[in-house]
Structure 1
């Protein structure tokens, strides 16, 4: 993280200027936060030691169909759950949330911590959440339509075309889904494990959320589903096995398009390599 004065930070990122009326006294300093792919966030520290995270609205967030206002609504609704950072302030330039002290679980996340976190998220009440349900086809179409013609090769197009529709599955109900729940978005502090970076969160099929987390963590699918269903007292486990296996190719296609779009936006070869790796999984 690069530390700099508040004035220097405002010169580097003009969205920070929109916070000057919120802070009665200018912050002591700001740091750029590393680790986020979609978001280029800031840690803001006041002279009294209070700290916040600034999550700006940018062309990048818009490209990935991320709404800071929706993120704010979700965090506001679940702020008393003890699972997420509290939202502090929202404007058209971005979202300010509390800074959570603790250490990232990106390298030390256990199987049990991941499954328990997924269960906690999926058990949160959704009746008061003013957000639209996740539309899988609309999301992947949004990614695809933004890609330049040179990235829309025949192989990529065939994979996108074959898997762009959501699967027809037994209904297991909709829940709040994080859609990026992994160790890098979990913090272990004095008050236990908390989940950060809710920018992709919305209401959706929990089996898709589970699929994404299982694949990122590289854990055993059968053990994860069994433990998850046990913790949620779910008896119809077959619907979960079938659902996750139906969602997996679609989740991989969505991730493939995400990496293609990320490559187009940032030009980092790492992203195109990830997209190619996912493409090869379909080809083989």
Structure 2
């Protein structure tokens, strides 16, 4: 994004402060104090402003243009955040601009240490949300990352082809289970606290989908957790050891292409061929 466009986007959000759904209403134009996160698809800024009683903090988040979004649609993320916020599971959206793909949300404290029981309860609460969102189409995500990675100059030999039979079979297996609302990115940085309760942020991959795939994405971000034990406790009677193994290795292949599309070094040390072989062994 050009600097002038970035300034325009930020100023547009700050100038709308009287329309922010804060209680009480802000009395001064907010100021950006620091960049909290600048990822492949969006940037989050810490903003402070005065109301009638005190100085408060907020988060301004906007899409990085002209970067190609790697998450799902912005509209879908907003719909899921609003649904989850009704249950206290997501930040409150205070201001929104669909055209600019930007929002202001409440500021939440870092989670600090998260207990095993708290994390299980958070997953169960998210999965209990009404499954009103569009379904997660894993095949489309594979194809999207494949195309973006090629556009970035990566050779097809360095990627995992979305047409691989093992991928198609694994996706079909996960689509056979009853779908639930999934966050699909519950890594430690995406968990905050409101008072003592855990709250999830960054819902850009949220969708209705496989609970086992949601477990795979979570356990990848919490390497100290035993995936089988955690998934059994979180999913209860829905748990399937085979589906969990399929989901874990399917996510590893998807994550490989995601890193190539995002221009980041893959965190996985295995080659694409090895990742596919491990997936095939689960089927």
Per the alignment, do residues 29 and 225 of structure 1 end up closer, same or farther by CA in structure 2, a change over 3 Å counting? closer
Contact 1:57 1:68 in 2 (8 A): no
Per the alignment, do residues 167 and 99 of structure 1 end up closer, same or farther by CA in structure 2, a change over 3 Å counting? same
TM-superposed CA distance for 1:145, in Å, is 1.0
Contact 1:38 1:61 in 2 (8 A): yes
Q: State the partner residue of 1:6.
A: none
TM-superposed CA distance for 1:244, in Å, is 1.2
TM-score by length of 1: 0.79
Partner of 1:132: helix, strand, or coil? coil
Per the alignment, do residues 47 and 110 of structure 1 end up closer, same or farther by CA in structure 2, a change over 3 Å counting? same
Please tell me the root mean square deviation across aligned C-alpha atoms, in Å.
Answer: 2.8
2:263 paired with 1:258: no
Partner of 2:164: helix, strand, or coil? helix
| Residue-by-residue CA offset, 1:193-252 (whole Å, 9 max, x unaligned) | 11111111111111100111122212112211221134xxx2x53xx2121111222111
Among candidates 131, 142, 148, match of residue 146 of structure 1: 148
Contact 1:72 1:95 in 2 (8 A): no
Partner of 1:82: helix, strand, or coil? coil
2:75 paired with 1:69: yes
Listed as ranges, the gaps of 5+ residues in structure 2 are 19-27, 279-283
TM-score by length of 2: 0.79
Distance in 1 separating the partners of 2:191 and 2:207: 18
2:75 paired with 1:82: no
Contact 1:122 1:177 in 2 (8 A): yes
Q: State the partner residue of 1:179.
A: 184
2:119 paired with 1:117: no
Q: State the partner residue of 1:200.
A: 205
Partner of 2:189: helix, strand, or coil? helix
Q: State the partner residue of 1:17.
A: 11
Per the alignment, do residues 216 and 160 of structure 1 end up closer, same or farther by CA in structure 2, a change over 3 Å counting? farther
2:166 paired with 1:167: no
2:217 paired with 1:212: yes
Give the structure with the larger helix fraction: 1
Distance in 1 separating the partners of 2:77 and 2:96: 10
Contact 1:87 1:95 in 2 (8 A): no
TM-superposed CA distance for 1:86, in Å, is 0.8
Q: State the partner residue of 1:95.
A: 102
Partner of 1:133: helix, strand, or coil? coil
Point out the more displaced range, 67-76 or 81-90.
67-76
TM-superposed CA distance for 1:34, in Å, is 2.7
TM-superposed CA distance for 1:37, in Å, is 5.1
Distance in 2 separating the partners of 1:204 and 1:60: 29
Listed as ranges, the gaps of 5+ residues in structure 1 are 1-8, 264-270
Per the alignment, do residues 189 and 77 of structure 1 end up closer, same or farther by CA in structure 2, a change over 3 Å counting? closer
Q: State the partner residue of 1:28.
A: 31
What is the total number of aligned residue pairs between the two structures?
Answer: 258
Per the alignment, do residues 147 and 275 of structure 1 end up closer, same or farther by CA in structure 2, a change over 3 Å counting? farther
Contact 2:260 2:266 in 1 (8 A): no
Per the alignment, do residues 257 and 117 of structure 1 end up closer, same or farther by CA in structure 2, a change over 3 Å counting? same
